[in-house]
Amino acid sequence: MITYERAHELFYYNDKDLIWKISINNRAPKDSLAGCIKSTGYRQIRVDNKIYLAHRLIWLYQKGYMPENDLDHINRNRTDNRIENLREVSKSCNSRNCGNFNSNTSNIKGVCFHKNRGKWISQIGMGVKNYYLGIFENFDEAVLHRLAAEQCLGWDKCDKSSPAHKYAIDNKLIRPPTW
């Protein structure tokens, strides 16, 4: 496992990426961007024959320890490794901060339009089970039911980037929190 000291020996951090301080081989010369982006969308870096995710190395470099839990990219951009875009969260919290399915046209996770009925459906997933929250004439009402379910499940404690929450604030359906 890489240490804080080893990370500082190998890299410097330019507020968004790790840069090689030393040349370790021809493919990783001094002052070049460390690692490469893999098919998962994450930047990976090989150090001492072990592959690390760049955002985890940045956390170690900045915070002094390797996170025990998941690291979440708050803005959902897997290549945005600025330390202020990273937060240590549980696996379940991290899984909630993911994008919508391609079929979702509302841009609010758990809220979709039912064409046959001409109404909005609101639902929420917990584990492998989906819970039906209702069918609504009004989009805003469907979003508020989704947001209420998130809050009842305690999701508001770990996911301040909920699309339902953002929509409700932007459209003045609720007041912004003071956290």
pLDDT at 97 over 70: no
pLDDT at 171 over 90: yes
Q: Which residue has the tokens 């009402």?
A: 141
Q: What is the pLDDT of residue 160?
A: 63
Q: What is the pLDDT of residue 179?
A: 57
User: CA-to-CA distance for 113 and 2, rounded, in angstroms?
Assistant: 48
Q: What is the pLDDT of residue 26?
A: 84
pLDDT at 80 over 60: yes
Q: Which residue has the tokens 């951090």?
A: 13
Q: What's the predicted TM-score (pTM) here?
A: 0.72
Measured at the CA of 148, the angle between CA 147 and CA 153, to 5 degrees, comes to: 100
3-state SS, residue 15:
coil
Rounded to 5 degrees, φ, ψ at 177 are -70, 165
Domains of the chain, start order: 4-89 (3.90.75.20), 99-170 (3.30.730.10)
CA-closest candidate to residue 37, choices 78, 88, 87: 78
Averaged pLDDT, 85-113: 81
What does pLDDT average to over the chain? 90
Q: Which residue has the tokens 């500082």?
A: 8
CA 175 to chain centre: 24
Question: Is the torsion defined by CA of 157, 162, 166, 168 positive or negative?
Answer: negative
**Which element (helix H / strand E) includes 6?**
helix 4-10
How crowded is residue 171: how many other Cβ atoms within 10 Å of its Cβ? 11
3-state SS, residue 75:
coil
Residue pLDDT, tens place only, 112-150: 999 999 999 999 988 788 899 999 999 999 999 999 998
Share of the chain above pLDDT 70, in %: 92
Q: What is the pLDDT of residue 155?
A: 79
CB 87 within 8 A of CB 26: no
Residue pLDDT, tens place only, 32-66: 999 999 999 999 999 999 999 999 999 999 999 99
Which one is predicted more confidently, 151 or 159?
A: 151
